[in-house]
Structure 1
Amino acid sequence: MNKTLISIAAAVLLSGCSLAPVYQQPLAPVAQAWPSGDAYKPAPTAPGTQAAADIAWRDYFTDARLRQVIALALANNRDLRVAALNIEKARAQYGVTSAAQLPSVSASMSQNAARTPANMRPDGEAAISRQYSGGLGVASYELDFFGKVRNLSEAGLQTYLGTEEARRAAQISLVAEVVNSYLTLVADQQRLALAADTLKSQQISYELSQRRFAAGATSGVDMYEAQSSVEAARNEMAVYTAQVAQDRNALTLLVGGAVPDDLLPQGELEAVTQTASLPEGMPSDVLLRRPDVLQAERTLRAANANIGAARAAFFPSISLTATAGSASGDLAGLFKGGSSAWTFMPQIRLPIFDGGANRANLTIAKVDRDIAVAKYDKAIQSAFRDVADALAQRGTLDERLASQQALADASDKSFRIHEARYEKGAESYLNALVSQRALYAARQSLITARLAKASNAVTLYKVLGGGWQEEGGGQVAAAGAGAGVGAGARTRAN
């Protein structure tokens, strides 16, 4: 062993330092501000408005029925239950790893009996000898001079904390899915109601055209055109009847059981889409608080600790095995005076030649760390893109909704004029049919636009990291994250 290695070993023995690289939070590979342009129009927010991560879902969604449905989903959803069980599993695995930092003490009692045959004894008589022993023992306790056990324990801790972040991310996604499923059900119920109203109107027009045809006032063309509109409306009724049933099935799956009828949505979209005010903040304040980003950082911290464990394999390892107790040739004298016995077996292992296995393991640990950095970068980039997309939608939805409302109003006026002219016999039913179909399409698109705006409020809340708190009013501690994106510099320790 050369002098350099001896000096390093001595320094570590005296200081007890870890061989893991000093962790520094990587720089975020995204811009320091959200995108700007025609699609991005900032929404006004009240002074002192909380960030999304600080707003509990109970405070953000104001509809009482919807909040009860979300609570049912959080209690019964199987995917979220699996995420919670993964936390329990990771906690137990961390307990196994951290237990290696303490000696394992066990108690034992034993008897050793041996029979010596007569032909092997000088007196020519067979004999049975017995030996009894009992005591406490420590088996192969490793003295952690080089931080191997501590680093493995730290890696286990970070993995465990990462599963907690994964559960929070799963809850955020579940809350958003439940709300969007609920809103989709409301929208499809409105579409079904619109199809029913259209069918009723078309049946009235069809009956009128039948009477006129019977009286010889019109040709059969108007009657058959009216009949075609009736059949088209019946088809739409069937489509949306099935869609509403499928929406309920989707909601049932998310909730993990049947949703009570009194909690199903009632009325218009506007009745269930009221939400709290929501600022988007700055990337450095928002992205590092998302649970999926925090989970990626936990993985990076674990990989960093594994490097320390891999480096410790190059240095000597010292383990102790010891027992203390009593031994006697007969059971009655096992714990009497003069029967004490002990053993002490220290062992030092110095790696000399391993075919490059230790060096390969260190390389693997470093590559795993670099992979974790890349995944952490990707998590931040994906989070940035999610928020930017939601902001782009939010900036254009008001204009889209206003234009769609104006189109629906104009189509309604056009249809009423053509319908009145047809009833007076001033024109054929074809013009009324064309305008009626345009009105129906405009109203359907208006429902779609309203749903898009409601869903955007849900998406923006989700991508900004809101939805995992049960109750509001508290600040979320972003454990392990720095104060800002640029809090640290990316390192590549060798």
Structure 2
Amino acid sequence: MMRTAILVMGLVLSGCASLPQLDPPPALRDPAGLAGAAVLAAYEGDFPTDRWWLMLGDPVLDQLVGEGLAASPDMAGAAARARRAAAFQDQAQAALLPTLAAEASGAGVRISQNQGFPPGLIPGSLLSRGRIAALAEFDLDLWGRKRSALAAATSAAQAAQADMAQARLLLISAIVAAYIDLDQLFARRSLAEAALDIARQEQALVASRAAQGLENNAATSRAESQASRAELELAAIDEAIALSRNALAALAGAGPDRGLVIVRPTLAEPRSLALPANLPVDLVGRRPDLVAARLRAESAAAGIGVARANFYPDINLAALVGLEAIGIDNLFSGSSLIANVGPALRLPLFDGGAARAGYRSARAEYDEAVSQYNAVLIDAVRQVADAVASKRSLVDQIGAARRAADGAQASLSVASERYAAGLVDRRSVLAAERELIVARAALVALNSRNHQADAALAVALGGGFMADSASTSEPER
């Protein structure tokens, strides 16, 4: 017995090839180390809800988002990938359980007469042969290969669920951004119509004065050119509106006719800046792309455990019991019973370096996953900082634009009063109206940017996503 144990131990040790010596594994970046106290100062706010687009107060937008989530091929694809990852997880879970199989066979056999037995002892005719057996197997998983595979599959399945949440967030973000652009285009169209009306009034005025000999051909041509440019601007905006409607229809998973019934948006006023108090730490569990990247790093860490276990022997327990007989008539007699119970040992003595290459590959996959997570984390904090910077800057820009619009309105009032008093001609009033349109166009663009900044901040904060946990796993050394 002692000699047998020593022999088995020697075989085990000889079968355990040495692990490659690699550099220490990289670490997931600590979000607390990304300084942001100055830029990301809290304004007593909360994270957005998972229906954050309702802050824009437009029921048509809410309807488009609902249609998009229900009909988007991107969402269907993300759901299919999540189901596939869940199936892999179930397969890994099943691998940890004992297996039980049944087998049955029947055949006609003729036994060779040339086996060293006396003539006549072995029948020379065609005989029937039958076998019925049950087989049970259980892998002891002494080195955790299957447990590591289950951990990897579980993290991958959870990452696929986070990917589905990210696909949802990106789709909603695209619909909201396109809808805000459509709102701006309609506002610009109203201003372009007013500008065209002014240009036509001025064209008619110049033509009348030219008929009286008060203007030359150059003034007439200039007025006609200005009217043509105004018509061109209006036509370009109409084209942009049509394209924006087509884009929204496609995002909603419908054909272009769906876009024809999208009316002018009615957006609520932009929101004031609000930030949660625990940025950027809370982003780790609030952004689906960050959660997915972290879970993939955990899956890759578990994959190292699988690769490590390939260096060690496998021990399976197997049991077989059944009936086997030559001559089907004898199959169910007690003397036909067969049984086999015992362990099976597999030693990785030589594989041409496959295990070492697999280990290096698993480590490289983990290193890549960590680098991707760190990149996503840094970019997530930057996106929040960008949205915050835009919101803070837009406060001053919109204030200045409103003052400019108020000044243009006051200038128009003065010009109208002077025209009524006969101190200036109609062209002074038209010039003041044109300046007011320019000022209002600048304000429209800034208000649209303010809405976009609100949406960008909601997306950067995760769009209402909440991870179940934010734990991290380090790879086996």
TM-score of Structure 1 vs Structure 2, range by shorter chain: 0.7 to 0.9
- 2:132 maps to which residue? 134
- 1:472 maps to which residue? none
The runs of 5 or more residues in structure 2 that have no matched partner are 1-5, 14-23
TM-score by length of 2: 0.83
The 2-side partners of 1:42 and 1:143 are apart by: 53
- 2:398 maps to which residue? 401
- 2:68 maps to which residue? 73
Residues matched between the structures, number: 454
Q: 2:57 aligns with which of 57, 62, 70?
A: 62
The 1-side partners of 2:122 and 2:106 are apart by: 26
Displacement, 1:88?
A: 0.8
Displacement, 1:417?
A: 5.4
The 2-side partners of 1:80 and 1:117 are apart by: 65
**Letter matched to residue 61 of structure 2:** L
- 1:14 maps to which residue? none
- 2:86 maps to which residue? 91
Aligned residue for 1:358, secondary structure, equals helix
Aligned residue for 1:113, secondary structure, equals strand
Conservation of the 8 A alpha-carbon contact between 2:195 and 2:434:
no
Q: 2:31 aligns with which of 28, 42, 47?
A: 28
TM-score by length of 1: 0.80
The 2-side partners of 1:324 and 1:188 are apart by: 78
- 1:160 maps to which residue? 157
CA pair 276-261 structure 1, distance change in 2 beyond 3 A? farther
Conservation of the 8 A alpha-carbon contact between 2:286 and 2:464:
no
The answer to whether residue 377 in structure 2 is matched with residue 388 in structure 1 is no
Q: 1:361 aligns with which of 344, 358, 364?
A: 358
- List aligned pairs for 1:284-323, cutoff 5 A: 284-323=281-320
The 1-side partners of 2:47 and 2:434 are apart by: 45
Aligned residue for 1:252, secondary structure, equals helix
**Letter matched to residue 279 of structure 1:** L
Conservation of the 8 A alpha-carbon contact between 2:130 and 2:327:
yes
Displacement, 1:333?
A: 4.7
Aligned residue for 2:281, secondary structure, equals helix
Conservation of the 8 A alpha-carbon contact between 1:68 and 1:263:
no
Conservation of the 8 A alpha-carbon contact between 2:25 and 2:367:
no
The 2-side partners of 1:124 and 1:461 are apart by: 85
**Letter matched to residue 313 of structure 1:** N
CA pair 107-372 structure 1, distance change in 2 beyond 3 A? same
Displacement, 1:32?
A: 4.3
The 2-side partners of 1:412 and 1:221 are apart by: 30
The 2-side partners of 1:29 and 1:276 are apart by: 26
Conservation of the 8 A alpha-carbon contact between 1:202 and 1:226:
yes
Aligned residue for 1:151, secondary structure, equals helix
Q: 2:99 aligns with which of 101, 104, 127?
A: 104
CA pair 379-338 structure 1, distance change in 2 beyond 3 A? same
CA pair 165-118 structure 1, distance change in 2 beyond 3 A? closer
Aligned residue for 1:283, secondary structure, equals coil
The 2-side partners of 1:300 and 1:386 are apart by: 22
Residue deviations 1:147-188 (CA, integer Å, cap 9, x gap): 011101110111111111111111111111111111111111
More deviation, 304-313/347-356:
347-356
Displacement, 1:74?
A: 0.7
Aligned residue for 2:215, secondary structure, equals coil
Q: 1:51 aligns with which of 47, 65, 80?
A: 47
CA pair 125-355 structure 1, distance change in 2 beyond 3 A? closer
Displacement, 1:212?
A: 2.3
Conservation of the 8 A alpha-carbon contact between 2:294 and 2:373:
yes
Conservation of the 8 A alpha-carbon contact between 1:405 and 1:446:
yes
Larger relative contact order, structure 1 or 2 (CA cutoff 8 Å, min sep 6):
1
Displacement, 1:330?
A: 4.0
**Letter matched to residue 134 of structure 1:** I
The answer to whether residue 213 in structure 2 is matched with residue 216 in structure 1 is yes
Residue deviations 1:294-342 (CA, integer Å, cap 9, x gap): 1111111111111222221222211244322222344455334443222
Conservation of the 8 A alpha-carbon contact between 2:304 and 2:362:
yes
* Sequence identity (%): 26
Aligned residue for 1:127, secondary structure, equals coil
**Letter matched to residue 275 of structure 2:** P
The 2-side partners of 1:104 and 1:437 are apart by: 83
**Letter matched to residue 306 of structure 1:** G
The answer to whether residue 407 in structure 2 is matched with residue 445 in structure 1 is no
Conservation of the 8 A alpha-carbon contact between 2:411 and 2:432:
yes
- 1:485 maps to which residue? none
Residue deviations 1:47-85 (CA, integer Å, cap 9, x gap): xx5322x55336544322211111111111111211111
Displacement, 1:420?
A: 7.6
**Letter matched to residue 242 of structure 1:** E
Q: 1:479 aligns with which of 456, 468, 476?
A: 468
- List aligned pairs for 1:255-270, cutoff 5 A: 255-258=252-255, 260=258, 264-266=262-264
The runs of 5 or more residues in structure 1 that have no matched partner are 11-20, 469-475, 483-487
- 2:21 maps to which residue? none
- 2:20 maps to which residue? none
Aligned residue for 1:106, secondary structure, equals strand
- 2:17 maps to which residue? none
The 2-side partners of 1:41 and 1:438 are apart by: 39
- 1:17 maps to which residue? none
More deviation, 56-65/447-456:
56-65
The answer to whether residue 327 in structure 2 is matched with residue 327 in structure 1 is no
Residue deviations 1:334-368 (CA, integer Å, cap 9, x gap): 33444322234632122334444333332332333
